[in-house]
Amino acid sequence: MKTSQVVSATKRKLIHIIGKRLLRLINKVQNHCSIVPTSPFLPNETFSWISALEEQFPKIIKEFDEVWKDPSKIPAFHQMSPDQARISKEDYWKTYAFFIFGNAVIENCSKCTETTEVLNKIPNLQNAWFSILAPKYHIPPHRGPTKALIRCHLGLKVPGNANSCWIRVDNEVRGWSEGQCILFDDTFEHEVQNNTSEYRAVLFIDVERPMNRVGQLINTLILNMMKATRYVKDPLNNMKKWNKNLSEKHK
């Protein structure tokens, strides 16, 4: 590795460490500004759009099945976002992105028009993608960076049961159900285990956390700052390159 690459990697790691520590301090303030529960898991009633999303499961799963016919066309999470390299190994965790911090991945959206239409109706949507976990894969414990977001998983393909395919958030373990959502705060330590012989797939969604006026200002500031960093820019650029390479390969 060249000296310039080493310096760049070291600088990025340092910025990442400082940024995470700063965000964790801000998260404590955001906790007091939230107008919805700040528990590890949140009730589905937190958002009125959850039931409408679940009703669209048949359309979404149909488009997922079409995309999943050729897994080689779907990048691993770390191929999209290098910051996920610690928790995403080889091609065990794949992601088919529709929105990355509010930016549409046009090529993917155009191939799943009904899913995209559903996503466009979700208020304050930031991120959305099909998240596919390989058999026997374990996503190690980790934390999300900011309280500005709340995560939703809509179960698409759920093998086994909560004993063999599960997510732990803080001290609570839950399984998924096909066609149903779970909501959680990813700033709590969480991990995922698929101890089955089949793939697990969910529609992964991040939305902005409802806040009081002060919290909304903090949310806007934090998200705008994140969008100016490589944490967001790299996934956007990598998805463009990935789709461009796919297009050229299949001409």
- What is the tens place of the pLDDT at every residue in 158-200? 998 889 999 999 999 999 999 999 999 999 999 999 999 999 9
Kindly report the average pLDDT of the chain as a whole number. Answer: 92
Q: What is the pLDDT of residue 102?
A: 97
- State the CATH class of domain 3-249: mainly beta
- What is the tens place of the pLDDT at every residue in 64-109? 999 999 999 999 999 999 999 999 999 999 999 999 999 999 999 9
118 pLDDT above the threshold of 50: yes
pLDDT > 70 in the chain, percent: 91
20 Cβ neighbours under 8 A, 6+ residues apart: 145
Q: Which token pair is 78?
A: 């770390």
- What is the tens place of the pLDDT at every residue in 36-53? 999 999 999 999 999 999
- What is the tens place of the pLDDT at every residue in 206-215? 999 999 999 9
6 pLDDT above the threshold of 50: no
pTM: predicted TM-score of the whole model, two decimal places:
0.92
9 pLDDT above the threshold of 70: no
Strands (E), the chain: 41-42, 93-100, 103-104, 125-133, 138-142, 149-157, 165-169, 172-174, 181-184, 190-194, 200-208
| Pairing mode of beta strands 125-133, 149-157 | unpaired
In which residue are the tokens 């998924």 written? Answer: 176
